[in-house]
Every structure is written in C-alpha cells, then in structure tokens.
Amino acid sequence: MNKSGIKHLVFDLGGVIIRLDKSNAIKRFKEIGVDTIEQYLDDYEQKGIFGELESGKLTAEEYRDQVSEIAGKQLTMEQLEYAWTGYAVELFQRNFDALLQLRGMGYRVALLSNTNPFMMHWARSERFDGNGHGIDYYFDQLYLSYEMRLMKPDVAIFEAMLAGEHATADQVLFIDDSARNCAAAASVGIHTLNPANGSDWRPDVFGLIE
C-alpha cells in the first residue's frame, strides 16, 4: 500500500481530532457546583473518581452519585455531559475530511481514547460534527478506555488495540498529543506522531504514509 508498510491509522480524540481546553471544562464543572474540580482534571489522565470513570471502574450512575456528593447536590446526567464536553472547544472540518480521505485510500482508521460515557454520549450523537454525524461515521473502530477498562499509557491498551485491529505493531501509526502515550506505544513497536493540541497533523500523517 505504501513504502512505510503502515496500514492502520489510530487517532487520539482530545487534542488531535478535537482541540481541548481544560480551563473551559473546569469553568463548567464549577458552574454546576463541583468547586474542587481542579484536583481531579488533567490534560491526559483524570484523577480520583474522574479517572475511575474513564478506566471503567465506575459506571456513569456510580460516578454521578459520587460527584453529586462532592457538589453537595444531586447532579443530572445532562449537567455532567455539559461539564465534560467543556473540554471540546474546537472541532476542525479539515480533520473530518482527512479521516474520510484516509479511509477512501484504503487505510483502516481507528480511535483510541481515554474517555468516558458522558463525552461519548455527545460524540456518538448527531450533535457531534455540526453536520449531523456522530463520531462513528468517521472511524472503522473505536477503542474507548472505559469500555476496555484500560487507560493510556498502559501498554496493555495498545496490545489490546493491536489484537482488535489484527495488526502487527509496525503496520500501525498512532497519533496522540501526549508524548507519554506516544512513548508507551513506541515501546511495543508502533509508529507514532505527537502533534501539539489542536495543531494541523495532516501534512505529517500524509508525509509518513506516502
């Protein structure tokens, strides 16, 4: 297919497909009454019950009960989705177009994300891209931390993704804005690209596969 031997392109969601802004998420969580939110939120890997939600140790309902205790009032699923999606401050049509172009060229395109049911309820809905499509429209497969009960940068999540893709490590290019996640992927032989949050990764991706 190409000189590099890459056949599978695996993208991170936050920071790569979507530009993230943690400060906006913090603002929204405070709006709904979670005043101590800074101690839980991180750019790449959440802490406490927020991390347990993303690693699948807590269900959405269990998480809602516990975060409601922190807030001192009962929070709704809608409020929590509003707060979580505060992270997603910008979506780029260029990225969606590139994903479809890559699939049209014969590459298998997958998502590998540390995420949670609230973010994915939005991402998998027709509200996601502004054009009536959910995220599944753009990818062949979604590998989601809370469903897999694994989190990047645990090497096991990359091994599980390779098994799911029926791919060898040298056939995969992994694109993630976290240098730590890229290092973990590279440790098992996966090709990596580490773009900055919200940057245009297209020239580098197409340059590596051509």
**Residues with catalytic function:** 12
Q: Nearest-CA neighbor of 81 among 16, 35, 137, 128?
A: 128
CA distance readout (Å), 193 to 88, 153, 183: 21, 15, 10
Q: Give Cβ neighbours of residue 181 (< 8 Å, ≥ 6 apart).
A: 12, 44, 152, 153, 174
Strands (E), the chain: 8-11, 18-20, 88-91, 108-113, 141-144, 172-175, 191-193
Q: Give Cβ neighbours of residue 161 (< 8 Å, ≥ 6 apart).
A: 10, 110, 112, 143, 172
Q: Which residues of 10-37 are buried (b: 16+ CB within 10 A; e: fewer)?
A: bbbbbbbbbbbbbeebbebbeebbbeeb
Question: Which pair of tokens denotes residue 176?
Answer: 């993630």
